[in-house]
Amino acid sequence: MTDDLFSLRLLIVSEAASERDLLRRAAMQCSVPVEALEVERTGDAEAAIATLRQAAFDVVFLDSRMPRAARQAVIDAARAASGKPLVILIGAAAMKTREVLMDGLAIDGALAKPILVEEARALIENCVRARLPSRALIVDDSSTVRAVVRKVLQASRYRLDTEEAADGEAAIAQARGGAFDIVFLDCHMPGVDGFAALAEIKRIRPDTKVVMITGAGDVRIEDRARASGATDFLYKPFFAKDIDDVLNRLYGLMRPRWN
């Protein structure tokens, strides 16, 4: 459910008037008020960077027609901006899968060309959900791992209120006590292990997204997690970018890892 007082600010950086107009029309169909500003000059990054410095935005739509160096400069400016906006690349895509070529850029999501209004509206709605506060539970018998995950989540572009549990039994108790949007859950713990906790959490809170964590590089464990209802997976050791990538997929900004 969205917040009645919440609104979204978009920055659309595209040389194509038709694309800018389509994104505006898609934004008008969203569940919250959306304000959109446009930058038409995409030959260099200066206009977009200046706009990012002048105001806070929630989402930046970035045209892949821009030279790669200019795109990178805009992404760097967005990462440094106070509002921590999400960066969505508008890019060419494979005809059948509509999967966008990222060109090695660290972006949060993608929108395939030619842009379809319904796809754009759905992606903007996902951005709305991503910008609203969410509750996350970190479950691991290692206090070090919990601290690492918490630190990364607190520094994220996402607004996450984090809690911790040291074992599966405590995680189940906390899930019974209140809903979590995301649970980061270690597979192997003493007592109630991750898979038993996963099954019970999904029974109690079917809509909770669960990310399983393991130090064992065994595809059979990943297959078991997926079959048991896990949404995504992390292998130890993982880094900030790995968690960011998982969050981008969980919020529907990138293609799911599991199809």
Please give the helix or strand (H or E) that residue 67 lies within, else none.
none
Mean pLDDT lowest among 50-59, 122-131, 181-190, 214-223:
214-223
Q: Give mean pLDDT, residues 236-254.
A: 88
Q: Is 3's pLDDT higher than 80?
A: no
Residue 257 banded pLDDT, cuts 50, 70, 90: low
Residue 32's nearest CA partner among 5, 65, 67, 70 is: 5
CB neighbourhood size of 151 (10 A): 12
Upstream peptide bond of 133 is cis (omega within 30 degrees of 0): no
3-class DSSP state of 99: coil
**How distant, in Å, are the alpha carbons of 4, 54, 162 from that of 238?**
36, 35, 18
pLDDT value, residue 74 = 95
DSSP state of 224: H
Q: Are 35 and 28 in contact (CB under 8 A)?
A: no
Q: Give the pLDDT of residue 60.
A: 97
Q: Where in the chain do CATH 3.40.50.2300 domains reside? A: 8-131, 134-250
Phi, psi of 144 (to 5 degrees): -65, -45
User: CATH: 1.10.10.350, 3.40.50.2300, 3.40.1650.10, 2.60.40.1930. Which one for 134-250?
Assistant: 3.40.50.2300
Which runs of consecutive H residues, i.e. helices, occur in 45-116? 46-54, 68-80
Helix, strand, or coil (residue 106): coil
Residue 137, classed as helix, strand or coil, is strand
Q: Which of 203, 211, 253 is nearest to 232 (CA)?
A: 211
Host H or E run for residue 30: none
Q: Please say whether the beta carbons of 57 and 224 come within 8 A.
A: no
Pick the CATH number of 8-131 from 3.40.50.1370, 3.40.50.2300, 3.40.190.10, 3.40.50.300: 3.40.50.2300
130 burial (CB, 10 Å; 0-12 / 13-18 / 19+) is buried
pLDDT for the residue numbered 1: 44
